[in-house]
């Protein structure tokens, strides 16, 4: 329905300003996790391994060496659920131990290989 239309044309059809359209689009993309991660290395891993939003959250916290109980508090989930997410994520990425996540990210980053 909006394919091929510019943001300004879509805004006009919705009877809103282009600025308001842009704000609404950003809010929707944020909620759908389509904004991408501001960290290009993390964004690269998320895209390459098709991580879910929760897996991406866990990955970021593992990279920062966040303890499991702190992750649970931050994500408003149980410690057991965090452990389950960590286990599945490590398996998906082919990493043996959570302590190896930071090193794995650095060694597997195409961004770093370009430097």
Residues 68, 91: one domain?
A: yes
Residues 60, 92: one domain?
A: yes
Q: Provide the pLDDT for residue 27.
A: 74
Structural domain count, the chain: 2
Residues 87, 109: one domain?
A: yes
Residues 28, 52: one domain?
A: no
Residues 19, 52: one domain?
A: no
Task: Tell me the three-class secondary structure of 65-91, residue by residue.
Answer: CCCHHHHHHHHCCCHHHHHHHHHHHHH
pTM of the model: 0.64
Residues 50, 31: one domain?
A: no
Residues 30, 55: one domain?
A: no
Enclosing domain of residue 57: 40-114
Residues 65, 83: one domain?
A: yes
pLDDT in tens, 80-108: 999 999 999 999 999 999 999 989 988 87
pLDDT in tens, 40-96: 788 888 889 999 989 999 999 999 999 999 999 999 999 999 999 999 999 999 999
- Across the chain, which distance is largest between two alpha carbons, in Å? 54
* CA 1 – CA 10 distance, rounded (Å): 10
Contacts of 51 (CB under 8 A, 6+ apart): 45, 59, 89, 92
Contacts of 65 (CB under 8 A, 6+ apart): 99, 102
CATH number at residue 46: 1.10.10.10
């Amino acid at each position: 329905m909006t394919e091929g239309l510019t943001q300004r044309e879509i805004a006009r059809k919705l009877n809103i300003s282009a600025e308001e359209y842009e704000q609404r689009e950003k809010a929707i993309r944020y909620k759908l996790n389509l904004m991408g991660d501001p960290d290009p290395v993390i964004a690269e891993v998320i895209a390459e391994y098709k991580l879910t939003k929760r897996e991406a959250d866990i990955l970021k916290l593992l990279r920062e060496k966040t303890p499991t109980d702190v992750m649970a508090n931050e994500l408003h989930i149980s410690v057991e659920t965090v452990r389950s997410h960590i286990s599945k994520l490590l398996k998906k990425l082919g990493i043996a131990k959570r302590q190896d996540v930071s090193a794995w990210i650095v060694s597997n980053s195409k961004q770093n290989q370009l430097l």
